Structure 1
Amino acid sequence: MDKSGGVWRMVSAMGLSGTIGAFAVFSGQSPLTVVLFRCLIGAVALLGWLWYTGGWTKLDRSAGAWIAAGAAAIIGNWLCLFSAFSLCGISIATVIYHVQPFMLVLLAALAQRQAPDWRQAPFLLLAFVGVALTSGINVNAHQPALLQGVLLALAAGFLYALATLATRKLKAYPPAQIAGLQLVIGVIVLAPMATFEVGKFSAQAWGSLLVVGLVHTGLVYNLMYGAFQRLRAETIASLSFIYPAVALATDLLLFNAKLGPLQWLGMALILTSMLGNQRIGQTVRGSTADGQSVRPQA
């Protein structure tokens, strides 16, 4: 698998992902309904594209198991995160959820049976602080079912990290095939639990659900899984912080959210962490070119 092109894929995927909250709100539907249609429309888009391009690759038993594991992780991730939003608030849930890059780095290190590249740890920590500041948490605010929401957000982050690692076990398969099959599994699991009336959907609801399915799922997961197959776990973790930064910018532009000085500082910290991480990545690649040994890909 060609390792080039991973960064722009991840940046694009995270940038687009940051706008999904707005379209979920515009749809006016429950989280379960949005997730179900995301799976359904996304699966049709991805597998349709795969059929059109003739890119289907025959699965072996091991690949099927990893796809199923990834499907369970990513669908569970969506359900846990959306539920956490309603229990502890979007700001707290978002910050807790973004502990996931640390989980990803540690899980990747465990899979490799060696220590992670700790040179990138300060930049991950800096990015996490940036996310906390941009989210504008009010630690004194009363939140119903706060503990349950925090635990669900943590579970969502852990499941995202597992989905990332599962995808990295499938480098021989097209991203559209991996994501498409995982979404089919999501439809099968979620459909029996859904309660909605299609006839009552407005034009805005249909338009929003189509964008969520085609853009935020079909396009984004093709880009994101392609990035997962090409990048080191630490780089994926650092670039993941683009998501909350774009989400905040979307909130500012579309819903007239007001940013305070600390939130602007937080966005600056996120950018700084990304730039610092990329400098380390360039150093590692330079060392490889000079013939020095570096640890293998996760």
Structure 2
Amino acid sequence: MIAAMALSGTIGWFVVTSGQSPLDVVFFRCVFGALALLGMLTLRRGWVRLSRRQAGWLAFGGVTLILNWLCLFSAYHYSGISVSTVVYHTQPFFLLILGTLFQREPFPLGRLPWLLLAFGGVVLITGLEHGAVGGMLAGIGLALSAALLYALTTLATRKLKEISPGQIAGLQMVIGIVMLAPLAHPAVGTYDAKTWGALLALGFIHTGFMYTLLYGAFQRLTMVSIATLSFVYPLVAIVIDVIVFDLRLSPLQIAGMVLVLLGVIANQLGWTLPIGRRARG
């Protein structure tokens, strides 16, 4: 799990290093990711025939996953890797809201303070002491959109419990190829070794290999361990942004990032506030 999350934290680095547009980066990630995931699935003979209902949910999840990547990779350009990654981690709250709206699940009011804390942190990240900068606001908006789209992907994937994760993700990569092929215009003749290296890494390492690590960890760890170790992802992203890209944030923005991470950690671990306990005693 730690290895998978550490790899996730380097995704933004490779996206920026590729020097390509988010559209072209996602297209090549889908191409190489599909080769890795479906190749491994074929070798293991793990294919399962899909029903019409399953195919519909898989297609919906594929579209939202690809749009999620496009939004997140675009956010890197406007608000930087670390800010985009931290804001992107508000996705558990979108999952709670969507579950309440569309699956009639009761909203756990005990988690409302953490939701407000996290989104209050997002407001601070915009840089209020200097006035909200347009680029930063655009990046945060894209990161929030990516979080919402990933929550929709998660809801769709929950409908596919009988299908192996490799088949789900691999076929979603194929959907991405079909979606983006008419739109992507990669100037492959101008790509140097650094560009190809970054794109190959995003497809084979950050998609094929990382998904294998991640799903293997899910089968062995408790939910508390998974929730806790997930925060290796934004921490690695912040370290890379500071060291590699010379990130400079204001004190309020740093405080906002801390509040977002604290709110999401508290939500994931099910922390509750001691409100009303004394009265009940």
**TM-score, L = length of structure 2:** 0.77
Aligned with residue 157 of structure 1, among 113, 125, 147: 147
Q: Tell whether the 8 Å contact from 2:28 to 2:199 is kept in structure 1 after alignment.
A: yes
Q: Per-residue CA shift, 1:199-226, capped at 9, x if unaligned?
A: 2211111111111111222233445567
1:25 maps onto 2:16 in alignment: yes
Structure 1 residue 41 displacement after superposition: 0.4
What are the residue-to-residue correspondences of 1:214-293 with 2, within 5 Å?
214-222=204-212, 242-258=232-248, 263=254, 266-267=257-258, 270=261, 274=265, 277-278=268-269
Which one-letter code corresponds to 1:215 in the other structure?
A: I
Q: 1:209 to 1:46 in 2, by over 3 A?
A: same
1:74 maps onto 2:65 in alignment: yes
Q: Per-residue CA shift, 1:240-277, capped at 9, x if unaligned?
A: 65533321122123234356766389458736853774
1:190 maps onto 2:180 in alignment: yes
Which one-letter code corresponds to 1:212 in the other structure?
A: L
Q: 1:12 to 1:171 in 2, by over 3 A?
A: farther
What is aligned with 1:201?
191
Q: Tell whether the 8 Å contact from 2:85 to 2:237 is kept in structure 1 after alignment.
A: no
1:180 maps onto 2:178 in alignment: no
Q: 1:153 to 1:43 in 2, by over 3 A?
A: same
What is aligned with 1:16?
7
Structure 1 residue 57 displacement after superposition: 1.4
Aligned-partner Cα distance in 2 for 1:125–1:107: 16
Which one-letter code corresponds to 1:37 in the other structure?
A: F
Q: 1:273 to 1:99 in 2, by over 3 A?
A: closer
More displaced, 88-97 or 100-109?
Answer: 88-97
Structure 1 residue 166 displacement after superposition: 0.6
More displaced, 113-122 or 13-22?
Answer: 113-122
Q: 1:68 to 1:279 in 2, by over 3 A?
A: closer
Structure 1 residue 156 displacement after superposition: 2.3
More displaced, 204-213 or 84-93?
Answer: 84-93
Percent identity of the aligned residues? 50
Aligned-partner Cα distance in 2 for 1:215–1:169: 27
More displaced, 180-189 or 210-219?
Answer: 210-219
What is aligned with 2:277?
none
Aligned-partner Cα distance in 2 for 1:94–1:150: 10
Q: Tell whether the 8 Å contact from 1:88 to 1:143 is kept in structure 2 after alignment.
A: no
Task: Compute the RMSD of aligned alpha carbons.
Answer: 3.8
Q: 1:271 to 1:151 in 2, by over 3 A?
A: closer
Aligned-partner Cα distance in 2 for 1:232–1:57: 27
Aligned-partner Cα distance in 2 for 1:150–1:130: 12
What is aligned with 2:203?
213
Count, aligned residues: 270
More displaced, 120-129 or 21-30?
Answer: 120-129
Which one-letter code corresponds to 2:200 in the other structure?
A: L
Q: Per-residue CA shift, 1:76-111, capped at 9, x if unaligned?
A: 112223334445666765565444321111112334
Aligned-partner Cα distance in 2 for 1:230–1:108: 26
Which one-letter code corresponds to 1:58 in the other structure?
A: R
More displaced, 271-280 or 42-51?
Answer: 271-280
Query: What are structure 1's unaligned runs of at least 5 residues?
Result: 1-7, 282-298
What is aligned with 2:41?
50
Q: Per-residue CA shift, 1:145-170, capped at 9, x if unaligned?
A: 77665554443222111001111111
Q: Tell whether the 8 Å contact from 1:19 to 1:250 is kept in structure 2 after alignment.
A: yes
Aligned-partner Cα distance in 1 for 2:62–2:221: 21
Aligned-partner Cα distance in 1 for 2:77–2:247: 19
Q: 1:269 to 1:149 in 2, by over 3 A?
A: closer
Query: What are structure 2's unaligned runs of at least 5 residues?
Result: 273-281
Q: 1:151 to 1:73 in 2, by over 3 A?
A: same
Aligned-partner Cα distance in 2 for 1:213–1:22: 14
Aligned with residue 117 of structure 1, among 100, 108, 117: 108
Which one-letter code corresponds to 1:23 in the other structure?
A: F
**TM-score, L = length of structure 1:** 0.73
Q: Per-residue CA shift, 1:273-292, capped at 9, x if unaligned?
A: 537743659xxxxxxxxxxx
